[in-house]
A and B are shown apart, each in its own frame.
Chain A
């Protein structure tokens, strides 16, 4: 009996050791929690700039007395390879880096021009990195973006994420997670958009898209030209248009209700029929004379034309100017004509594809100013 008890005790003690000693166990204060990672290419070197949350104050006792503790610190490193740059970073950080908290991966324009594939594949293999993190590009000196937030209580990564989240809710930006980018990089036709973040009027702001073609930066689309792109790639897109009519201007809110893009393949020619249905409401006019039927018709026609122009110019830019299918017509065609798609050089075929755009617009003349959550 005594031996049985002893054996049980020894077994329990033996089990407790490995349980408590999970080799990975490390107090959260003993890790450098990273919120933003910037990847840059400086001549032949790769550079990392990381933003780290200061859980324990690192400022001097004088600064602490004055309440000037830094919430985030910025550390940079570089090396001939990513591995060497990381080694350099590890040498500068007092604690082991933790990448599970990264909210934003910022790729500089130089890095994107060199090619993003290698770093994305590295990210895929770093188990700590969450594949749900967002990826953006910047043409700005990346350190400036992070430094801009250094005095704030919110990190640069969280700020960029919040901006993208907010805009994405109304379809004004395409969010790209690392996982989605890895999928796009593995496709036959590698061409997609990444949101670009720069400093605009002393604030971090989304200012357009970077076009990634064959894994490298190819072009930039400014925010003014992104409406058509968002209509094609996003759902629930909402924009405000100012429509001139007669000697007046009507401010109209437009909402994408539904869309349908159908592919066709006849006589070895690729074509698409793209139908977009919008609903809109006149919010107000510069001069409020009321809206008669003629004025309504005029606004509706002008607005439909403006939306049509946005969409068709986005398609034209993709086919004729940038020559890259970032509007993802390839996916629509692949689903419809899988066997034909396998055989063709989509990058070339796409340039000559005929895309018939049809815009249907429903308009509410407004005039009711009560808050309606369905409309707003």
Chain B
């Protein structure tokens, strides 16, 4: 199975993987931590992750046609390569369970209160696994298809939200006395940018070229700008003090909107239900695919279908075990951020430095 993606598909993979879950909660998280200076905190974090995106893609560009598992053997040896890959598998496993649970929690809290989470998961996980089985190329095409609707509808809804919100809810934009608060809130802004590391499973080709690095960097920065727009518009709608009480603040804000000029659709939450959740499904599927790719590389003799089925069964079991476990949630949102930073920033940076030093490996 050839794993190839175009640069345009990289844009959608990044946007959907990073933002589809994060946009639901980022407004609350930023309002609670950075307050009126949320935009500044996100902007600083976006610049940092733009650099991280450049590092990740530069690494892929150095080893064309290979994924992390392949080229890390040349850089850190077989043992090092397996260690790094196992780290990514463990990290992605935690993220899979977290995201799958968050999806079921979000559906239950906002749309299907009587439907057990186990039921939504048993429907969702086979779908994730099936797409993961099909591989990155198929998934990338899906990203392209859904992504365009997701962006157009997402931005349109937020523009409408701005017209219905109150500007004073986000003013003043900056207060020098709160600069410490803004910097301290960077920790909260990191989680929405985690996910860049999925690019490490995509082997870049000659066609991608150096342009892939620039594309990814610009995309990550644009995601930062989109976050700022989403956060500010959601706060404008719900208010700085009120928003901190809602976990799925974006969904609450969308449900708070009325579109009186649209006779056929006065409520905007239908839009989010379709394209927002479709994007979230794809975001989760990308992580499933990343694990599948790593495991397939490690166990070359095992059938991809068996690996995918085992991932599905284990993730479903883990979801049932960690459901309603506040310690797991706390672990992911706390320690998980550091694990994510290691996966997206530290390990790729180390590997890139080694690659620069060991020029002869090329």
- Segment of A66-74, A182-190, A240-248, A290-298 in the binding face: A182-190
Asked if B65 is at the interface (CB within 8 A of a chain A CB), the reply is: no
Q: Which of A166-205 contact B (CB under 8 A)?
A: 177, 179-180, 182-184, 186-187
- Segment of B4-12, B118-126, B225-233 in the binding face: B118-126
Please tell me if the beta carbons of B126 and A11 are within 8 angstroms of each other in the complex. yes
| A132-170 vs B, Cβ < 8 Å mask (1 yes, 0 no) | 100000000000000000000000000000000000000
Q: Which of A39-69 contact B (CB under 8 A)?
A: none
Cα of A19 to Cα of B126 in the assembled complex, Å: 13
The SS class assigned to the A binding surface is helix
Please tell me if the beta carbons of B172 and A335 are within 8 angstroms of each other in the complex. yes
Please tell me if the beta carbons of B237 and A127 are within 8 angstroms of each other in the complex. no
Cα of A187 to Cα of B239 in the assembled complex, Å: 10
Please tell me if the beta carbons of A23 and B112 are within 8 angstroms of each other in the complex. yes
Instruction: Select which of B120, B175, B256 is within 8 A of A179 by beta carbon.
Output: B256
Please tell me if the beta carbons of B123 and A15 are within 8 angstroms of each other in the complex. yes
Q: Which chain B positions have C-beta within 8 A of A331? A: 168
Residue of B nearest to A18 (CB): B119
Please tell me if the beta carbons of B256 and A177 are within 8 angstroms of each other in the complex. yes
Asked if A86 is at the interface (CB within 8 A of a chain B CB), the reply is: no
Asked if A301 is at the interface (CB within 8 A of a chain B CB), the reply is: no
Known contacts A15-B126, A179-B239, A338 near B252 by CB under 8 Å = no
Asked if B114 is at the interface (CB within 8 A of a chain A CB), the reply is: yes
Please tell me if the beta carbons of B110 and A24 are within 8 angstroms of each other in the complex. no
Please tell me if the beta carbons of A23 and B115 are within 8 angstroms of each other in the complex. yes
Asked if B209 is at the interface (CB within 8 A of a chain A CB), the reply is: no
Residue of A nearest to B114 (CB): A23
Among B120, B122, B255, B257, the one with the most A-chain Cβ atoms within 10 Å of its Cβ is: B255
Asked if A257 is at the interface (CB within 8 A of a chain B CB), the reply is: no
Please tell me if the beta carbons of B256 and A130 are within 8 angstroms of each other in the complex. yes
Asked if A22 is at the interface (CB within 8 A of a chain B CB), the reply is: yes
Known contacts A183-B239, A187-B241, A335-B168, A22 near B112 by CB under 8 Å = yes
Q: Which of A116-139 contact B (CB under 8 A)?
A: 124, 127, 130-132
Q: Which chain A positions have C-beta within 8 A of B327? A: none
Please tell me if the beta carbons of B175 and A339 are within 8 angstroms of each other in the complex. yes
Please tell me if the beta carbons of B110 and A182 are within 8 angstroms of each other in the complex. no
A residues whose Cβ falls under 8 Å from a Cβ of B: 11, 14-15, 18-19, 21-24, 124, 127, 130-132, 177, 179-180, 182-184, 186-187, 331-332, 335-336, 338-339
B residues whose Cβ falls under 8 Å from a Cβ of A: 36, 109-116, 119-120, 122-123, 126, 168-169, 171-172, 175, 177, 237-242, 245, 252, 255-258
Could you list 11 further interchain pairs (A-B, Cβ under 8 angstroms) beyond the known A131-B256, A338-B36?
A: A179-B237, A179-B238, A179-B256, A182-B245, A183-B238, A183-B239, A184-B239, A186-B242, A187-B241, A338-B175, A338-B177
